[in-house]
Amino acid sequence: RIQLHEEIFMPVLRTAPIFQRAEFIDRPSLVRLCHNAFTEECFVSGIDVFIDGIDSEGAYYISSGALKYTSACLPEPFIEIVSGMWMSELSLWVHWVHHGQLCAESLTELVKLNYNMLEEVAQLAGTNLIKYFSRFAIYLVGYAETWQDINGRAVTDLPFLHADIEKLAERA
């Protein structure tokens, strides 16, 4: 079962720069993360994945389907969310309250990475992984604060630019 979870979820983890690099630091911990921290969820059209103002339980990777994200913090009425995107990534590193609503527009499959289980796996890991995650979290929060200052609006559940996150993961 552990191997099956690794085969299913490790490719998802590798889409996020932080976990690409973490695999080289402590691969066994990432295998434990695949086994313990992921759940697969399915939503039909019109069903909310999350709503504004609710505490987040983790980050979401869109495996398939289409969703619509709306937020009072955005200048656009909505943003189309498609497969391959992460949502609510900040929830893995800080206490996060959703800043919008994510609603399925078609049959949608998601993979949720639970932040509590990420924390539990990290605590069991070696100090190198804990230090790496801690540095990344600090850099990410600083990046989010700067982003807010530059853009003049609150950070939402939408993903940051992949290239920027790669730079933070490399720096950590």
Residue 30 has pLDDT above 90, yes or no: yes
Q: What is the pLDDT of residue 71?
A: 96
- Work out the end-to-end distance of the chain between its first and last CA atoms, rounded to an integer number of angstroms: 32
Q: What is the pLDDT of residue 87?
A: 98
Indicate left, alpha or beta for 65 from its phi (over 0: left) and psi (-120 to 50: alpha): left
pLDDT digits (tens, 9 = 90+) for 95-136: 999 999 999 999 999 999 999 999 999 888 878 999 999 999
Residue 13 has pLDDT above 90, yes or no: yes
Q: Which amino acid is located at 100 in the chain?
A: G
pLDDT digits (tens, 9 = 90+) for 33-88: 999 999 999 999 999 999 999 999 999 999 999 999 999 999 899 999 999 999 99
Residue 167 has pLDDT above 90, yes or no: yes
Q: What is the pLDDT of residue 99?
A: 96
